[in-house]
Amino acid sequence: MADRISLRNMVFYAYHGAYAVEHELGRRFEVDVDLYTDVRAASASDELALTINYADVYAVVKQIVEGGPHKLLETVAETVAARILAAFPAKRVTVRVRKPHAPVGGPVDYVEVEITRPA
């Protein structure tokens, strides 16, 4: 059994994309993270040290998304998932990375990559 901790719609400004202009101008990116872990000990004790600190997860995601540019959302998502699994006691993680108004040749609200990785 695993419980879920979610961080939804974290928003960052970054320079990821397949086109040179995206690396120059940058744009908004949105990220969701679902961490699957057992929260029973933390909920019974009400101790932050026994769960995954949301602020620490946010800091990891921010560092990656606002860090060096990547061409693919897939790379951003994989990097976030790997770093989270290395740093936190999660049994699995789901990461969604969205790029609003991506340059796809026509109107689109956003493109999104979603991955799920086990620990």
* DSSP one-letter code for 36: E
Per residue in 39-86, pLDDT tens? 999 999 999 999 999 999 999 999 999 998 999 999 999 999 999 999
Q: How far apart are CA 54 and CA 47, in angstroms?
A: 13
Which runs of consecutive H residues, i.e. helices, occur in the chain?
A: 20-25, 40-45, 54-65, 73-87
Judged against a pLDDT cut of 90, whether residue 14 lies above it is answered with yes
Amino acid at 24: E
Task: For the chain, give every domain's residue range.
Answer: 3-118
Strands 92-100, 3-14: parallel, antiparallel or unpaired by DSSP?
A: unpaired
Judged against a pLDDT cut of 70, whether residue 1 lies above it is answered with no
Which of the following is catalytic: 62, 71, 91, 99?
99
Query: Which pLDDT does position 44 carry in this prediction?
Result: 97
71 is an active site residue: no
Amino acid at 107: P
- Side-chain-facing half-sphere of 119: CA atoms under 13 Å: 14
Closest CA to 52 of 15, 103, 90, 3: 90
CATH architecture for segment(s) 3-118: 2-Layer Sandwich (3.30)
Q: What is the pTM of this model?
A: 0.95
Q: How far apart are CA 5 and CA 19, in angstroms?
A: 34
